Amino acid sequence: MEEKIRSALSAPFPADAVKNRRGSFGKPISYVEGGEIIRRLNDCFENSWSFVIIEHQVLSTGEVLVHGRLTALGVSKDSFGRGMPAVSRKTGEVLSEADAYKSAATDSLKKAATLLGVALQLYADDIPDQAEPQKPRSIRSAPVNRASARQVTAIWNLGRRLGLDANAIRQRTMTSFGAVPEQLDRETASRAIQDLSDEIDGRQQKGAA
């Protein structure tokens, strides 16, 4: 992908396009809406890009999970998204299942776009100190034996020691093991830790030679 396009994709959004909301435990979160992401993709690729839903699943809670793929200039990025249906506060009745599908698809698109650099400055430092249950690496077979908080933290710390930023760490485990750190099972997380440790040891031995 040309450097000019990369720069355009990762350019900061105007202040009025950046929204704020409260996340888990009251943590403030900055984000841009799906429409802004689409506008950025259109501007950079002149509408020559595509986004498709590879698969989806509806959980018993009504939550929708989707696996989406964003493709532009022959480069594809996959990501997961999730969405909850609109529910009546008075009765608890589901008002619109379509909202869940729309939210999940938009969530997936936005996360896939960050892998191309779009709005990355808003999310690159959002690295959890402890693992939380998140989206599965595969909708069909979510890992039962989820990686521990210690394992996930170790992956982030080892990645930083190698000079990798948040996006590079996520992309590395996605490419090598099929999921971002928080979505790995324990066995695969152990392999990721070993691989990163081996690379660090290799660099240290090379430096000492």
Mean pLDDT of the chain: 81
User: Are 15 and 94 found together in one domain?
Assistant: yes
Whole-number pLDDT of residue 134: 41
pTM of the complete model: 0.58
Which of 91, 126, 161 is the C-terminal boundary of a domain? Answer: 126
Whole-number pLDDT of residue 202: 84
User: Degrees (nearest 5) of the Cα angle 105, 114, 39?
Assistant: 70
**How many separate domains does the chain show?**
2
User: Per-residue pLDDT averaged across 96-125, rounded?
Assistant: 86
Whole-number pLDDT of residue 93: 67
User: Are 35 and 74 found together in one domain?
Assistant: yes
User: Are 100 and 113 found together in one domain?
Assistant: yes
Query: Cα(177)–Cα(181) distance, rounded to whole angstroms?
Result: 9
Q: Where would I find the beta strands (DSSP E) of 37-186?
A: 49-58, 64-72, 75-83, 86-87, 94-96
* Complete DSSP assignment for 1-42: --HHHHHHHHSPPPGGGEEEEE-GGG-EEEEE-HHHHHHHHH
> Are the beta carbons of 146 and 186 closer than 8 angstroms?
yes
Percent above pLDDT 70 for the chain: 80
The pLDDT confidence band at residue 3, using thresholds 50, 70 and 90, is confident
Q: What confidence tens digit (pLDDT) does each residue in 179-198 have? A: 778 778 888 889 999 999 98
Which of 107, 126, 145 is the C-terminal boundary of a domain? Answer: 126
pLDDT at residue 25 is higher than 60: no
> Could you tell me the residue range of the domain that residue 35 belongs to?
1-126
